[in-house]
Amino acid sequence: MSQDVIGILSDSHGDLAAFDAAYELLRAKGAHRFLFLGGRYSDLDEWILDRRERSRGGREYSGADFIQDVSRWLSVADQKPRPRALSGGFPAVKTPEEDPLLVRESFLRAPERDCLQYRDPAIPRKILDMVGDTLCCAVHDKNDLERDDLVNALIFFHGRESEPKRVQIGPRFFLSPGRLAGAAEQTCALLERVDRDLRFSAWRLDGKAVLEPQVLPLERKTKVSAK
């Protein structure tokens, strides 16, 4: 039985403690790759820095730390380039507790409209790829979706929702993990692939299910439109 688990986070808006709690919860539930849908694009970088500082136990950043960081990044650069994919383009992160700098390599993220990265042509506003044999599209704001996205993909991940949602419109599913900040409940989500089935669930940061795991009844598509 083949299984793949993707953790989904959104709308942290500077709440790094919530970001960290969501990451630990999703990792405990089996996620080894993560999708961050913005809601402050730079939160991922700031969380990584905070995690690194905590891993040093408050010790000041030293020349030895710098050399170690450079060595880590060179080892990543020597690997095959990582495609922007949900379906297997991530290098493995085997010991994130010991190497927080490389945790970033297990994340993909989409920018929100009011961040500088949204206007950077080198940074895609949407993540579009396959999970198993299902085409998925991830974006911070679902209003950024275009006709071709809606024609081709069957699953859409998006932020900017006050609570987790699993909405079906025709054969398509619009899935949101809810918010890590600025909502009545702080939540995140999981997408699990077991063989050909995809299962979506959403969780409060205390581990209580908000949306129980449920298989998405997908209609399989064999062709992609290029119109």
30-85 confidence digits (pLDDT tens): 999 999 999 999 999 999 989 888 876 655 656 655 566 656 556 655 554 444 45
214, containing H or E segment: strand 209-215
> From the CB of residue 191, how many other CB atoms can be counted at a distance below 10 Å?
24
Rg (the chain; Cα; Å): 18
pTM above 0.95, yes or no: no
The residues with which 135 forms a beta bridge, in sequence order, are 130
Cα distance between residue 20 and residue 5, in whole Å: 18
- What's the average model confidence in pLDDT over 183-208? 96
Per-residue pLDDT reduced to its tens digit, 124-181: 999 998 898 999 999 999 999 999 999 999 999 999 999 999 999 999 999 999 999 9
Q: Please give the single-letter amino acid code of residue 128.
A: L
Taken in order of first residue, the domains within the chain and their CATH numbers are 3-215 (3.60.21.10)
Backbone φ and ψ for 197, nearest 5 degrees, come out as: -90, 140
Q: Indicate if the pLDDT at residue 24 is higher than 70.
A: yes
pLDDT attached to residue 96: 46
Selected residue with higher pLDDT from 1 and 157? 157
Adjacency order of strands within the sheet including 155-158? 127-131, 134-139, 155-158, 172-176, 165-169
What pLDDT, on the 0 to 100 scale, is given for residue 57? 64
User: How confident is the model at residue 53, as a pLDDT?
Assistant: 84
pLDDT digits (tens, 9 = 90+) for 88-113: 444 444 444 556 667 888 999 999 99
- Type and span of the H or E element at 135: strand 134-139
pLDDT at 54: 80
Tokens standing for residue 206:
């205390």
Q: 190: which strand partners? A: 7, 201
| Selected residue with higher pLDDT from 12 and 49 | 12
Looking at every residue in the chain, the average pLDDT score rounds to 85
Q: How far is 110 from 194, CA to CA, in rounded Å?
A: 25
Burial class (CB in 10 A: 0-12, 13-18, 19+), 200: buried
